[in-house]
Amino acid sequence: MKTPAFNPITGAIRALAMDAVQQANSGHPGMPMGMAEIAEVVWRQNLRHNPANPLWANRDRFVLSNGHGSMLHYALLHLSGYDLPIDELKKFRQLGSKTPGHPEVHYTPGIETTTGPLGQGLTNAVGFALAEKLLAGNFNRPGHEVVDHHTYVFLGDGCLMEGVSHEAASLAGTWGLGKLIAYYDDNGISIDGEVEGWFTDDTKKRFEAYGWQVIGQIDGHDAAALAAATAEAKADTQRPTLVICRTTIGAGSPNKAGTADSHGAPLGAAEIALVREAIGWAHAPFDIPADVYAAWDAKVAGAKAEAEWNDKFAAYAKAHPELAAEFTRRLAGELPTGFQAAAAALIEKVQIKAETIATRKASQNAIEALAPALPELLGGSADLAGSNLTHWSGSKELAAGSGADATGVNYINYGVREFAEFAIANGIALHGGYLPYTATFLVFSDYCRSAIRMAALMKIRQVMVFTHDSIGVGEDGPTHQPVEHTASLRLIPNLDVWRPADTTETAVAWTHGLQRADGPTVLALTRQNLPFTARSAEQIEQIRCGGYVLSPASGTEKAVLIATGSEVGVALAAQKQLAEQGIGVRVVSMPCTRLFDLQPASYKCAVLGSGLPRVAIEAGVTDGWYKYVGLDGAVVGMDTFGESGPGAALFKHFGFTPEKVIGVVKSLLGIKLD
């Protein structure tokens, strides 16, 4: 590998990276300095984008999966003309700046996804490329290719070490995502030093086995080799491409290049002075010459590319007006006009049928009712469709292979890849044009928790279907019985976690999740049947508040029972028996604690009452319920793992029975037990 031919074009990237990190006294200068030539070839010679309109529909997508090197991304956005002035780069990693420590979508113009947890950026990029393929299959017509763009992703050793990269890359090869091009920064260094002590994979063979085109190893500092590799990658439309680029981390630093010292810490003032001399950069920190700005400026080319596409789309709209209107609506993230009517019809039908069924089946019924009115709905499951009940009568699955017909595809078989499933769905949602729903068993939410967290952090609209929600799973035993998972997911900010009690609450949860535009929704659903409970129109509306009075007390009210999911039926049975003994209790159903917490204090007080002892009932860990019952209340729950056995026997064994609830209520009231 030859020494980089330092020039002002790439010198600007190196200078901005090392100066911003130095000023912040925090960050990762080595990767931006090492990938400067790769970035120049991709961004100046290949990336089709418009800095004046970061959300242009047919722009190429760019993802920095090795997001710790965020100053590379910020430098590229600034230099190419995005609304990211130099003062924002001077505020790198500072509170309130548009240049946070890792790239964050919605904060910085031009950032497509939030990266930092390694491997997930690559996985999001697979989602971007899949969305492009499906949209092209559904909207392009002969002579009118309005969906035609690439997804470029930079990644490093850490991304490839994370297991999710295997899951995602395997699927990308299976799906033949020919417009996905990844550049592997093969610099051999991570935080702990030279990776050869813990990362000896044959990456080339690994990706070839996935069905990727693999180019290189090439010199990652040779612009001509990089340009040729990119042209070769774009020429293969049948396979995703990995370009393996051998680089020197911190390239340009006389004493720290090629070492871990340049990875995650400022270079230091003395070394930066040496870098300036080594790369021929005789400018003060954050001072970029006008000719360098002119060389990087992408506004004119970007405006031209978008204008050409606008003309193409106008011709498309003339030839196919309904398709054009649908495409525009879906890219804007607006629900179709018929959705509200479909949602109302679903809830009305549920009331009429009054079925006693599992909430996983109620979920499938909701999909069946809503999907025809929502063509952007894109489902999927991790090899559990028959158990998660995520198929509906109109499901059309994506077939393997690059040449597979994508027309009408609305269902993805992810295989046993829970983490990739949810992270790919994040990319699909961010790309636009689709509203994804995903599925697996609730106990396996552990596998995909980081992707769930990222969806909540990025405010992504995704409905996450988790079935087999408690010890009601039964004979599969404690490995498959999620006693702590619902409570754990409730701890994630901005995540709506629903545990519905019957068909009505399931229908409301689904419609609310699809309408929610500022974050994801989890549905924790039963395997076993749950009884239907009749409600007034007002109560149905109150379900959206997350908690409501399902059944008022009969006679003088002495206590309040709060329950979710399958335990609502237990609470109602206990209420009936207590009433027969002259003890009036109110039953509150609380299917979504986060939404309840967001309600005004007056509403919450009206639902929970005041001055009355409260008992929470849920087949799961107890800690989270004390915020509602207080220290003088009680929780009927379980703080152990489950057991193998029939579900009904387990509920009795662990005390989720009316009798147990009655005993707890009487104890709180000081009533002697029989």
Q: Which residues are catalytic?
A: 418
Please name which of 445, 398, 437 lies closest in space to residue 419, comparing C-alpha atoms. 445
Output the CA angle 592-652-506, nearest 5 degrees. 25
For residue 571 the two structure tokens come to: 């609470």
Neighbours of 539 (CB within 10 A): 16
Q: 134-140: list long-range contacts, CB under 8 Å, 24+ apart.
A: 134/378, 134/398, 134/406, 134/409, 134/433, 134/434, 135/327, 135/433, 135/434, 136/406, 137/405, 137/406, 137/407, 137/408, 137/409, 138/406, 138/407, 138/408, 138/409, 139/323, 139/326, 139/327
**Displacement of CA 107 from its chain's centroid (Å):** 17
For residue 542 the two structure tokens come to: 């109150």
Bridge partners, residue 641, by sequence: none
534 — phi, psi (to 5°)?
-70, 145
Distance in angstroms (rounded) separating the CA atoms of residues 483 and 481? 6
Neighbours of 321 (CB within 10 A): 10
- Is residue 184 within a helix (H) or strand (E), and if so which, with residue range? strand 180-186
User: 619-649 in b/e burial notation, b at 16+ Cβ within 10 A?
Assistant: bbbbebbeebbeeebbbbbbeeebeeeebee
Amino acid at 60: D
Strand boundaries in 431-583, DSSP class E: 435-441, 463-467, 496-498, 521-525, 529-530, 548-551, 557-563
Distance in angstroms (rounded) separating the CA atoms of residues 392 and 371? 8
